[in-house]
């Protein structure tokens, strides 16, 4: 693998000052083989309709986290076309698993032949569900989906997502069908293959082990959307990846996920922990590493340049009404208004940043 990519790596390294320190340009394309049949699970933004059939009563009552329940999944590929396969599923998550009536799901697709290379490569995939029934919980999951899309504006080293319309059918016929929105999150193995990286599971990493500009970008993004619920040590709501080819810095990239406990989503159940000093998740708290003022200024310039694209993602999203779009953009206005008055946001970052 190293011999195969070394010439290309050296060319990139020699042509890029500050290699590995300030950008993620060192990430090479991963799987570029186009001779396969793709379902385009994470390449399309169209709403994907699926049907899940399983024993809903047992699922709600036992919330299985170890043992899988038998299930059947149908991908509705057109008005009359579909693909149905038998799979397994179980619950996942921590807080939402205990609080939500409908806990998040892990689908086990291992050894399931769908006839599409990308689907057949997936062993397990995370499915984010609406926490409970009701319009407000529908809005939460739509805004959480938007958080993923906003981070993708900044970088390709982000989790791709697919918005779903899910029909839940009780195989025991004891419950009425349920229809919710949901989100498929790109499996980390697929992300790693796409970016020619591999996952690092070491729990004792710190922000110093992440490429500085990438670390700052993620930390400032989380500040922008009102997210303090992440940590590099223990990899809480963060995955850490390293390049598959030789990297002289030894540094990695961090990829955030799980954005429900944020000011952007603002769910009624999100109450800040006392240690933060926050009264609401709508308040912003920067928990990134401390940098010099001029470094933060350079980092923030990226966000200034991407502002219109952030707002376009929200405006062009067809599943939020105008009022909710305005509310979402108004929350981002709070960040960009601070950004316009440079000293305000810089002081906020420097006053709450972490020294390692």
For residue range 31-56, list pLDDT tens digits in order: 544 457 999 999 999 999 999 999 99
CB 51 within 8 A of CB 73: yes
CA dist., res. 212 & res. 81, Å (int): 48
CA dist., res. 94 & res. 40, Å (int): 30
Which residues, 6+ apart, have CB-to-CB distance to 31 below 8 Å?
193, 194
CA dist., res. 219 & res. 227, Å (int): 9
Q: Token pair for residue 314?
A: 């929200």
Which pLDDT tens digit goes with each residue over 126-173? 999 999 999 999 999 999 999 999 999 999 999 999 999 999 999 999
Which residues, 6+ apart, have CB-to-CB distance to 327 below 8 Å?
none
pLDDT per position in the chain (356 positions), as tens? 444 444 444 344 333 433 333 455 555 555 544 457 999 999 999 999 999 999 999 999 999 999 999 999 999 998 889 999 999 999 998 899 999 999 999 999 999 999 999 999 999 999 999 999 999 999 999 999 999 999 999 999 999 999 999 999 999 999 999 999 999 999 999 999 999 999 999 989 999 999 999 999 999 999 999 999 999 999 999 999 999 988 889 999 999 999 999 999 999 999 999 999 999 999 999 999 999 999 999 999 999 999 999 999 999 999 999 999 999 999 999 999 999 887 789 999 999 999 98
CB 26 within 8 A of CB 249: no
Which residue bears the tokens 């029934």?
A: 133
342: closest CA among 291, 292, 293, 287?
A: 293
The predicted model scores a pTM of 0.90
Domain boundaries, the chain: 48-189, 197-352
What is the number of alpha carbons within 13 Å of residue 271 lying toward its C-beta? 2
Backbone conformation region of residue 2, classed left if phi is above 0, alpha if psi is from -120 to 50, else beta: alpha
151: closest CA among 283, 259, 40?
A: 259
CA dist., res. 97 & res. 103, Å (int): 5
């Amino acid at each position: 693998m190293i011999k195969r990519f070394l010439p290309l790596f050296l060319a990139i390294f020699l042509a890029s000052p500050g290699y590995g320190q300030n950008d993620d340009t060192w990430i090479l394309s991963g799987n570029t083989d186009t001779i396969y049949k793709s379902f385009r699970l994470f390449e399309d933004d169209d709403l994907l309709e699926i049907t899940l059939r399983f024993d809903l009563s047992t699922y709600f009552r036992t919330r299985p986290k170890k043992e899988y329940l038998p299930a059947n999944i149908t991908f509705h590929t057109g008005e009359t076309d579909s693909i149905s396969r038998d799979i397994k599923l179980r619950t996942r998550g921590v807080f939402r698993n205990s609080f939500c009536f409908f806990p998040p799901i892990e689908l086990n697709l291992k050894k399931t032949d769908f006839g599409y290379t990308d689907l057949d490569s997936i062993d397990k995939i995370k499915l984010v569900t609406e926490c409970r029934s009701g319009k407000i919980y529908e809005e939460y999951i739509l805004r959480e989906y938007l958080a993923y899309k906003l981070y993708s504006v900044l970088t390709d080293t982000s989790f791709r997502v697919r918005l779903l319309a899910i029909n839940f059918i009780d195989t025991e016929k004891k419950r009425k069908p349920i229809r919710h929105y949901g989100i498929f999150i790109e499996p980390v193995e697929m992300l790693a293959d796409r970016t020619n990286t591999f996952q690092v599971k070491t729990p004792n990493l710190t922000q110093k082990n992440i490429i500085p500009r990438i670390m700052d970008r993620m930390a400032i993004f989380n500040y922008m959307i009102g997210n303090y619920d992440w940590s590099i040590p223990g990899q809480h709501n963060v995955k850490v990846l390293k390049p598959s080819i030789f990297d002289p810095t030894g540094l990695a990239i961090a990829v955030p996920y799980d954005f429900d406990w944020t000011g952007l989503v603002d769910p009624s159940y999100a109450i800040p922990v006392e240690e933060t000093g926050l009264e609401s998740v709508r308040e912003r708290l920067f928990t990134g590493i401390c940098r010099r003022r001029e470094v933060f200024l350079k980092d923030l310039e990226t966000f200034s340049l991407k502002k219109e694209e952030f707002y376009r993602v929200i405006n062009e999203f067809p599943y939020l009404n105008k009022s909710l779009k305005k509310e979402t953009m108004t929350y981002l206005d709070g960040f960009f208004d601070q950004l316009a008055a440079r000293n305000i946001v810089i002081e906020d970052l420097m006053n709450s940043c972490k020294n390692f």
